[in-house]
Structure 1
Amino acid sequence: MENLKFSYRDKTLTGPVKTMICGIINVTPDSFSDGGKYFGRDKALKRAEELIKDGADMLDIGGESTRPGSTYVNIDEEIDRVAPVVRELRNITDLPLSVDTWKAAVAKAAIEEGADIINDITGFLGDKNMAETIGLSSTAAIVMFNPVIARPNHPSSKIFPSFGAQGVFSQDELKDFRNMEIVKLMKEYFKKSLDLAKKYNIPKERIMLDPGIGFGLTKKENLILINEIDVIREMGFFTFLGVSRKRFVQNIIETSGFETNPESTEGFENRDEASSVLTSIATLKGVEAVRVHTLKHHKLARDVASAVRFAKDMEDINFGSYKNK
């Protein structure tokens, strides 16, 4: 397979690359994991500085929670939340800055402040102007498969907002999607997204694809998409994966008898350790970027797994015996 490329503004990454750790900055009062903790410009910037210091490879800034039961944030408010953060970060770091929004007006404002990537959880299908906005810029896009939009009546979808998507699929398509195998459904969804990208002159190398883990999916479907994530590379794209602290991860370790209550130190730590195991798996599978809440666990997991993945490039070291103490 040819080496894949990903470009944003005037920079190009050519694979295979070491899996990038993308630190999350939620400038929201109601995120499912850290709602309110980094709400406000100063708190968000302080968090960004911590992530940079801890070794983040990129940052993802979001001004609207997309968790189950979340509420719509109007465009002006979302811009007020994210634009100042992007502006300030652009002055202090050269790391790629991604803005998590499905609204074209928010994306445009973020791009004007220096955002390199727009992370659209609707894959261009939530706002009819998003693909055009990206196409008119030099920024890149993370295009996510969103099962909530493809299967609005699925039990796992009903607890999520609609993300603005209305009428993007015909009734016949929605009917066909109901019982479609999940990897096939992801491909069908991406076809619609990539057709829009082509229409608005967004080159293939300016797109990463995200399998949409945690959005309107069953436990089994989440795991299948991770296990078969190589499909995205086979389509010719870099892969972006967000699994950190997702509910299915918590369910897995809870079923195994581990503490998962985030109010306890052990439960909080267990969720992040379990999430980092998936970062190891993603690294071994060659996923180009993982979106995470903490750097400690995921960077450690990534670095160990990378040593295995790139074993042939590792320095040969002879180890001495252990010394008796």
Structure 2
Amino acid sequence: MLPLRGSGVSIMGILNVTPDSFSGDGAYHDVGCAVERAAALLSEGADIIDIGGESTRPGANPVPVEEELQRVLPVIRAVKEQLSVQVSIDTSKPEVMEAAVSAGASMVNDVYALRRPGALEMAVRLNVPVCLMHMQGTPPNMQTAPAYTDVVREVSHFLSSRVRAGEAAGIARRHLMVDPGFGFGKTFQHNVQLLRGLSGLAAVGTPIVVGVSRKAFVRRLASVEQEDDDQTAQVSAGLALYAVSQGAAVLRVHDVALTRNLVRTWEAMASPPLDDGNAQLYGSLV
């Protein structure tokens, strides 16, 4: 089963256990700190915790398999032992996928969309939900000179092709999600065009995951200063809500409570009429 709520939008809380995360939140490579952060994300309303041990920020260099395993496995085990929450592993390496699922992860989130050698076969064998992301280039070079004729059409075509590849290999469609990959091999204008055209990805036929949280284009879009984390969080949550209005089913975010409250309030107000159940939900948010 996909890690989706029975109704409404699912919130994926980001837990980076890297020393060089693009968002500056990678201080959780200490297991104790990581579990505390996961607990906080869960208490704020996260439906799943996405744990990553390799930075995919622009210019990032690859991390050896063993180093990535040393970063993520102790955290996954500790989170699963101490908290009742689903865990996703953010990796593109088949060895890490296998070990992470064995340690308790129940989903794979792959920025390479299972294109690395052995990744597709491993995903088939693991039989867990997979998120396939679009990225033009690779993290070391993806922002050098990204180019598209029609970014929405090209991203949609790529994701559709990866879904077909997954199905052909033996992954059930019900186990697949797609992520357009905001900030991954895209200019500011590409990101804005892709967000505006997000509803066009519905043709792919799977749930859409959106991660705009703390991305550079978010700050630029709202003219937010680099060091203003509060404003960045607010703008990120606002764009996440816009993504929901365009069909996003899962939001991958750093600021769970802020995003959750916006989305749940919007869901309550968008559900006519405002019955007792919706009124109770709305009342819990104010």
Structure 1 residue runs without a partner (length 5+): 1-6, 158-177, 318-325
The reply on whether 1:227 has 2:196 as its aligned counterpart is yes
What does the per-residue CA deviation read over 1:154-177, in whole Å, with 9 as the maximum and x for residues that have no partner?
7345xxxxxxxxxxxxxxxxxxxx
Query: How much has 1:95 moved relative to structure 2?
Result: 2.5
1:121 to 74, 99, 111: 111
TM-score, length-scaled by structure 1: 0.79
Match for residue 232 of structure 2? 271
5 Å-filtered alignment, 1:310-325, equals 310-312=271-273, 314-315=275-276
Asked if the contact 1:145/1:211 (under 8 Å) is kept, the reply is yes
Match for residue 148 of structure 1? 137
- The DSSP-based 3-state class of the residue aligned with 1:238 is coil
2:262 to 281, 301, 316: 301
1:87 to 68, 77, 81: 77
What does the per-residue CA deviation read over 1:34-80, in whole Å, with 9 as the maximum and x for residues that have no partner?
24421222211111011111211111000011001212110011011
CA distance in 1, matches of 2:143, 2:53: 27
Which deviates more from structure 2 when the two are superposed, residues 293-302 or residues 204-213? 293-302
Partner amino acid for 1:129?
A: G
Match for residue 213 of structure 2? 244
What does the per-residue CA deviation read over 1:171-213, in whole Å, with 9 as the maximum and x for residues that have no partner?
xxxxxxx543111211231243223312320011101110101
The reply on whether 1:131 has 2:120 as its aligned counterpart is yes
Asked if the contact 1:26/1:34 (under 8 Å) is kept, the reply is no
Partner amino acid for 2:128?
A: T
CA distance in 2, matches of 1:30, 1:102: 17
Partner amino acid for 1:85?
A: V
5 Å-filtered alignment, 1:135-284, equals 135-148=124-137, 155-157=144-146, 179-254=148-223, 258=224, 260-262=225-227, 267-284=228-245
CA distance in 2, matches of 1:191, 1:239: 12
Alignment coverage as a number of residue pairs: 276
Partner amino acid for 2:150?
A: E
Query: How much has 1:236 moved relative to structure 2?
Result: 1.5
CA distance in 1, matches of 2:143, 2:256: 34
CA distance in 2, matches of 1:286, 1:312: 21
| RMSD of Structure 2 on Structure 1 (CA) | 2.1
CA distance in 2, matches of 1:105, 1:62: 14
Match for residue 323 of structure 1? none
TM-score, length-scaled by structure 2: 0.89
CA distance in 1, matches of 2:54, 2:212: 18
CA distance in 2, matches of 1:135, 1:52: 29
CA distance in 2, matches of 1:277, 1:13: 21
Larger relative helix fraction: 2
CA distance in 2, matches of 1:153, 1:270: 27
Asked if the contact 1:142/1:208 (under 8 Å) is kept, the reply is yes
CA distance in 1, matches of 2:144, 2:70: 34
Match for residue 50 of structure 1? 40
Partner amino acid for 2:257?
A: K
Partner amino acid for 1:214?
A: G
Q: 1:130 to 1:39 in 2, by over 3 A?
A: same
Which of 1 and 2 has greater Rg? 1
CA distance in 2, matches of 1:281, 1:298: 11
The reply on whether 1:291 has 2:259 as its aligned counterpart is no
CA distance in 2, matches of 1:313, 1:223: 33
CA distance in 2, matches of 1:206, 1:153: 28
Please identify runs of 4+ aligned residues in structure 1 that moved more than 4 A. Answer: 12-15
- The DSSP-based 3-state class of the residue aligned with 1:209 is strand
Match for residue 283 of structure 2? none
CA distance in 1, matches of 2:46, 2:62: 29
Asked if the contact 1:97/1:115 (under 8 Å) is kept, the reply is yes
Partner amino acid for 1:198?
A: E
Asked if the contact 2:19/2:27 (under 8 Å) is kept, the reply is yes
Asked if the contact 1:307/1:314 (under 8 Å) is kept, the reply is no
CA distance in 2, matches of 1:252, 1:187: 23
Query: How much has 1:243 moved relative to structure 2?
Result: 0.2
Query: How much has 1:115 moved relative to structure 2?
Result: 0.8
Partner amino acid for 2:170?
A: N
Partner amino acid for 1:134?
A: A
Structure 2 residue runs without a partner (length 5+): 280-286
Query: How much has 1:128 moved relative to structure 2?
Result: 1.9
Partner amino acid for 1:225?
A: L
